[in-house]
Structure 1
Amino acid sequence: MDDPFTKLPEDFVSEIISRTSPLDASRLAVVSKGFKSAAESDPVWDKFLPGDCFEIVSTSVSPVVYSTKKELYFSLCHSPILLDAGNLIPLGQIEELFGYMDCRRALRVAKLKSVCWLDIRGKIKTHMLSSSTTYGAYLVFKLAERSYGLESVNAVVRFVNDEADSDAEERAAILHLQRSNARHGSRQQTGQLPVRRNDGWMEIEMGNFYSDKGDDGEAEARLIEIKRLGGKSGLIVQGIEFRPQA
């Protein structure tokens, strides 16, 4: 039986497939011989890669080996790379096979030694996100052996152009990065608690937002504690992740 799709111009088919998703492209590659070549072509997978992908890859500590854009895409999905002599960790801007966007920012891994005020911010352009999708912002961190002052901090997630800092702070969520010291009383912690990930890091949800700003918006997640007296120490931050919620 003839495959009618083999009669279509490949560049025409490629343009159509590039407007779908990595999952759709992978499915179409096995649906029809007429789709296979187009669905695996560089023009299609180039559209699935972030605009600054090759700039990021060029600064990788170890060479990123690939022969096609599709290979590069899946390499970045499954194998994180170190940048800038190991000081920067790109946490991806790649839409994974099943359509989930793991949009994270490349942040320096930072260890908090001792401060009185804590204010950490991570931002992402909404054009990097899937539309009509609810995203959660997650702080990825560890605690040093000697850590203190992190029993209760605030977190806010906002659209930068829509809400002022002061307004967002009024609805801040309470996060507990570490458990209360029993010697200081048995007061129950009623805010968000962290969970341990498979990679050994901890994560805690800072808040969520609905992505409907198109190319014009910017979302910000902020961890803040500037009112309570006393020092804070021992927080090791890997970064802030923005990812879709089920």
Structure 2
Amino acid sequence: MGDETHDLFNKLPDGFRQKFTQEILSRTSPADVMRLSLVSKSFQASANSDVVWDTFIPPDHRRRALQGLRKDTFGSGKRLFRFLCCHEISWTHYPVAWPRYWLDKWSGKMCLYVNDNSLAITQLDTDYWKKRVSGPVLGHVIWLEVCGRIPTSGLSPDTTYEAYLVFFLSKYVCYGLHTPIETSIGIPGEESTKAIIYLDPRIAESKSNHHYPNTKPGKRIPDSIEVKLGEYFHKKGENRDVEITLKEVKSGRPKCGVRILEIEMRPKQA
């Protein structure tokens, strides 16, 4: 039966067969397209077509990427998609530094980050923080509180997102990072998701604390560290800001040696 179906498919006109496979592939994901391109020559031809890859590129991303450039700069929709997975795009109706978006190469969904300039950090203007061009560094902080707001209008609909704090650790002086830090993520005034994290990789990786989110090497910035702050499900049609906070104000222990870079929102991998 399978062979008969395959023979009938091959007997279809070339134009119809290609249009049919393009329609199938455009309803999957970038990762699925790459896998299905190995099935047959027919799928391989469709997997490289602009018709398929254009469906994975949000209109705003296409417009911003092509602004001031010729359309043939990228050569194909596939090349443009790859470019948008590696380069951040800013929205004209927001400040340049907040927020910035890129595409997830596996799903084609929107990712974004807000950097330290857009985060509310308690006591940032005091001597407890060491100000650097590359980001604020904990100098000798007892009261740690960081808050960021993410515009959900820029997220992909009906998608579960994971929020990550991205930071560097000082090569010289680090202490107090074994103290548990409370995190929350949600819409202000509504129920939020809470968790406990550690900024010390040795604590996060220890077997005694395996139930806490682990720190791991950052995905985008070399030598950086990231820790998962929580998850948020973005519903279709929602246009509100989601608030992400991390707070440690109870222990009275000083903390030093963390340089905060940004908070990222990325679609949860299946």
Match of 1:123 in 2: 150
Distance change >3 Å, CA 196–CA 30, structure 1 → 2: closer
Which consecutive unaligned segments of at least 5 residues does structure 2 have?
A: 1-6, 68-72, 91-95, 117-133, 203-207
CA–CA distance in 2 between the matches of 1:30 and 1:175? 42
Aligned to 1:152: 180
1:172 is aligned to 2:172: no
Q: Determine which of 201, 215, 224 is the counterpart of 1:194.
A: 215
Aligned residue pair count: 222
Residue 217 to residue 200, structure 1, CA distance change in 2 (3 Å): same
Stretches of structure 1 lacking an aligned partner (at least 5 in a row): 60-64, 181-187
Aligned sequence identity (%): 27
1:174-231 per-residue CA deviation (whole Å, 9 max, x = no partner) reads 2221389xxxxxxx9785452345742211111224x361232554432234566576
Residue 94 of structure 1, aligned match among 76, 100, 103: 103
Which structure carries more relative contact order (alpha carbon 8 Å, separation 6+)? 1
Deviations 1:28-70 (A, max 9, x none): 55556665555433343222123432465479xxxxx621121
**Counterpart in the other structure of 2:162:** 136
Task: Report deviation, 1:153.
Answer: 2.3
Task: Quote how far apart the aligned CAs of 1:140 are.
Answer: 1.6
Distance in 2, Cα, partners of 1:146 & 1:102: 37
Paired residues of 1:93 and 1:104 also in contact (CA < 8 A) = yes
Distance in 2, Cα, partners of 1:89 & 1:217? 17
Give the letter aligned to residue 194 of structure 2. A
Q: Contact 1:121–1:223 at 8 Å: present in 2 too? A: no
Aligned mate of 2:230, from 172, 188, 207:
207
Aligned AA (2:231): N
Paired with 2:22 and 2:196, the residues of 1 have a C-alpha distance of 48
Which residue is 1:183 aligned to?
A: none
Distance 1:16 1:81 in 2: 29
Q: Which residue of 2 aligns with 1:111?
A: 136
Change (3 A) 1:191 1:237: same
Instruction: Give the counterpart of 1:22 among 30, 33, 36.
Output: 30
**d(CA) in 1 for partners of 2:64 and 2:113?**
12
State the one-letter code of the partner of 1:153. Answer: I
Aligned residue for 2:244, secondary structure, equals strand
Counterpart amino acid of 1:195?
A: K
CA RMSD of superposed structures (Å) = 4.4
Q: 1:179 to 1:42 in 2, by over 3 A?
A: closer
User: Distance between the aligned counterparts of 1:3 and 1:122, measured in 2?
Assistant: 55
SS of the residue aligned with 2:105?
coil
Q: Name the TM-score, length of structure 2 as normaliser.
A: 0.59
